[in-house]
Structure 1
Amino acid sequence: MIDEIGPLPDGVSEEPPEASEGQQTIWQDGAWAIVEDHRGEIWYTGPNAPFVVDFLGDPAQHGLVSANPAADIDQDELPPLERHLTKRQINAALIVAGQIDPDGFIETAVASIGDATQRALALNDWRYAPYYERNHPLFNDPAMLSATGLSEQGIDELWLSALQLPA
């Protein structure tokens, strides 16, 4: 706060400092600050789990990493039930198993989730995940298994058949 008439004190400016490329100037804690701007960049929350940065600051301070931690993992070397599947593979396996409308089948099961936030998150995962892991709650939650009529063994069999289908 400036409470005297006259020239500005040393180090005080009416203009914010100029940020370099990849940075933004913000007013923070009563002063101008220059912070990293990674908005729009893809960072990772875990192996093959991309996240589009939508905030200012260092994504690493939020537990994100800039390189895919699974980039060096060869899926073909993993045990079959640890391999990732694409939505196309899962849908095709469900169709082959008799579920002609796989999205409707899973979305009906998701609708049985009581908590609205959890239901919305599960639906988001089903619709938009870049890949699926066998240990994901969509394939393990007892309520989801009950709603689909599938057992854990049935999911395993579905997973193994999906691995044989085009990605």
Structure 2
Amino acid sequence: MGTDIVAQFTDSAMETVDSCTRTDPDGFEETLAELVAEPAVGAPLPSESVSLEDTVVDTDPSVEELSAAETGVTQAGTAIADYGTVTVESRPGGDELVSLYPPRHIVILEADDIVPDATAAFDRFETQVREARENGTAGATRVLETGASATGDMGGLVSGVHGPTEVHIVVIEA
């Protein structure tokens, strides 16, 4: 993945998130440790380059632990450089719940999962859904996130209404 698209994503994301940090697999655990507020919960990462295994993040939390968590850690599926948007897939590990309940959400993003625009993202989603149907598996639903949750429905902009008040993105570059 070209550095230009990563830089474009980072610039766009910084308009709506608290931080967007670029690191490599060797620096991942240190970067994550700087961002986590305990207690922390997470969904198992499908990444081949990084893991939550040797961190303080609980990847098999109970309902009570999820409710008490200060930080949730999930992996993004696809990211859109134009908007600084990430997608959180609905997977059996509980990605959606982990991304929405704790007040701080840390998104792990592989640089190779950044596409330039919404058209490229939806082309990728279409391919993934088609492959899932051909394999007889259910295609995952996706939540598109651009920064912390917010609403302006009743006046001024209010953050954290139905999700985290802080969002931090960690981009893993091979």
Give TM class, smaller chain. Answer: under 0.3
Q: Which has the higher contact order (CA 8 A, sep 6+)?
A: 2
| Higher helix proportion | 1
The structure number with the bigger radius of gyration is 1
TM-score, normalising length from structure 2?
0.26
TM-score, normalising length from structure 1?
0.27
